[in-house]
Amino acid sequence: MIYLDNAATSWPKPPEVLKAMTDSLERSGGNPGRSGHRLSIEAAMVVYETREEIASFFNSGDSMGVIFTSNATHALNLAIYGTLRPGDRVVTTSMEHNSVMRPLRDLEKKGVGLKVVPCARDGTLDLSEMAKAITPGTRLVVSVFASNVVGTIMPIAEIASIAHKAGALLLVDAAQAAGALPIDMQEMGIDLLAFTGHKALLGAPGSGGLVVRSGVDTSGITPLMRGGTGSQSELEEHPHFLPDKFESGTPNLVGIASLQAGIRWLKQRGIDAIRWQEKELTHELLEGLCNIPGTKTYGTLDPERCVAIVSFTAEGKTVSEIGLRLDEEHDVLVRVGLHCAPAAHRTIGSFPQGTVRLAPGAFTTRDEVHAAVKAIATVVSS
């Protein structure tokens, strides 16, 4: 089996991740922050150490600004609904996932002013258009770091500079970038970073978070939920300090443990080394597809300007047929359709059918990529 669906969920996971998940249940099975016995304390240590790892990994400046959520969608909703009020203005791009667009469209109906800056057909952003859109008084700017459809990398540091000059906060959707690209929140000027654990961070599904850069004022951001935190239990008012303000209920200890192990594995192997490998695999995919008659490939077609995601269509074939035949006839697993990002597909011109998406990962080999290209050529030509 050749797995090329790492943009949806990375697979396989490193053995260290699987071990950390098992250990969290066997050795640290208590409820963190809720009891004083040894298992609770051990569980709390897992949570604390993972916060420290994440804060260091993204250089956010303060581990108390690491808010654990169930995924990037949860984190994005927390930031978007917590920040925006009727009468506020928000700016985003036309390459966003529905976990950004759906909350923003909902808030638009409730009185929030929304401006969507159109991107080019390769997914790139014209910074001059973004600068025109981010007017003084804009409350929030939301941008994907790397497109989940074509992999195009956005100029995040430049967007941050424009946003801050207008007095706006920058929220970045790093679902595809976290673990795939080096991210320095302080150097890039990212105020709020939403990430998921189950993609390039190599953690378990159901893990993720919102990272708040040190120095960002969160007093005006309201919690998405309120409830038990294990702190200030004598009060019926929700805590106002981080991370408790945005974390209610028992955390996903198994998922948090998987995040810690995934990040440590990435640091040991080297994110730059993995990035180099994935650029090579992306180049092989792009070159192979360009030699298959009848195929059309989307995006910048430049591995330096995208994460390891390649989308294509083929004349006379539906994307669903291609995906099904690759799976059933060639044991090649891909994703087809709109990838929960209809705005992005409208931008690149592949709406409403969508594309076939190929996404190699940290464990993908060149031989697997070559075999996948050969299988695609067979399916497309027959």
136 burial (CB, 10 Å; 0-12 / 13-18 / 19+) is: exposed
For tokens 């009185």, what's the residue?
A: 111
Q: What is the pLDDT of residue 27?
A: 86
Q: What is the pLDDT of residue 29?
A: 81
3-state class (DSSP) for residue 146:
strand
Q: What is the pLDDT of residue 375?
A: 98
Dihedral through CA 226, CA 231, CA 236, CA 237, nearest 10?
A: -60
Spatial neighbors of 351 by CB under 8 A, at least 6 apart, are 338, 342, 345
Mean pLDDT, consecutive 10-residue segments, the chain of 382 residues? 98 98 90 88 95 98 98 98 98 98 98 98 98 97 98 98 98 98 98 98 98 97 94 91 95 97 98 98 98 97 98 97 98 98 98 98 98 98 92
On whether the CB atoms of residues 356 and 312 are closer than 8 A, the answer is yes
Cα separation values, 344 from 2, 128, 266, 336, 349, Å: 27, 20, 29, 14, 9
3-state class (DSSP) for residue 369:
helix
Residue ranges of domains in the chain, CATH in brackets:
2-10+270-381 (3.90.1150.10), 15-268 (3.40.640.10)
Distance (Å, whole) CA 32 – CA 293: 57
Backbone dihedral region of 53: left (phi > 0), alpha (psi from -120 to 50 degrees) or beta?
Answer: alpha
DSSP structural state of residue 102: H
* Residue 14 structure tokens: 């490193």
